[in-house]
Amino acid sequence: KTCENYFTSIKDTGQAFITQQKLTVLKDSIDRRKKQFRELNIKNEFESSEQKALTELLKKDNQIKTVYLWVSVVVVSLFIVILILVMQHLKRTAKHVTQLTALNTTIKQRNDDLQKAFLSLEQSHKENSRIIKIVAHDLRNPVSAINNLTYSLLKKNVPDTMRESLEFIREACADSMALIKEVLNEEK
């Protein structure tokens, strides 16, 4: 406007008009450039905000992936710990099973030994019973004979000192015969 005012003050309207047109063209050019710059700046801002949004989205995605990774690490760690504990338990169980098997084998062996000892004892008892029966049977006749002899002697007149001894022998024979009968009856 200063140039236009200058040309108007010197009364050169033609030059003022030309200057005014040049000024208008320059202003329009500046306005167009400002508009392009603003548009370019808006595009840049839009791209920048889009880039920021994309960056934020990637950060959130990265955070979620990090959480998933940690959860996976924890789950895998827990699985490994559980697996180790199960393996230790299986080892202990196998050790106990081995010990129980050895103990069971020992018990079976001792049971077999006891069975053999019991059968041997039973056989020995049968043999002893048989021998006792034979001895009792063999003793019955001589004891009976002694009893009959003392009875016969007691029927006769014998001195009192001898009678006492014969009575004693007869009682011993009676007790022995009762015992022999008991042994023979018990074994039947």
Residue-by-residue DSSP string for 52-91: HHHHHHHHHHHHHHHHHHHHHHHHHHHHHHHHHHHHHHHH
Tell me what pLDDT residue 1 has.
52
Q: How confident is the model at residue 19 (pLDDT cuts 50, 70, 90)?
A: confident
- Average pLDDT score over residue span 12-26: 77
Tell me what pLDDT residue 128 has.
86
Tokens linked to 97: 């099973």
Tell me what pLDDT residue 182 has.
87
Tell me what pLDDT residue 131 has.
87
Report pLDDT digits (tens) over 150-177.
988 889 888 888 888 999 999 999 999 9
- Which backbone phi and psi does 130 adopt, to 5 degrees? -65, -45
User: Worst-scoring range by mean pLDDT, 11-20, 25-34, 83-92, 95-104?
Assistant: 11-20
CA dihedral 145, 147, 151, 153 (to 10 degrees): 70
Could you tell me if 140 and 180 are in contact, meaning their C-beta atoms sit under 8 angstroms apart? yes
Tell me what pLDDT residue 160 has.
85
Could you tell me if 156 and 119 are in contact, meaning their C-beta atoms sit under 8 angstroms apart? no
Average pLDDT along the chain? 86
**pTM for this model (two decimals):** 0.42
% of residues, the chain, pLDDT over 70: 88
Residue 187 reports pLDDT greater than 70: no
Report pLDDT digits (tens) over 39-83.
766 666 777 778 888 899 999 999 999 999 999 999 999 999 999
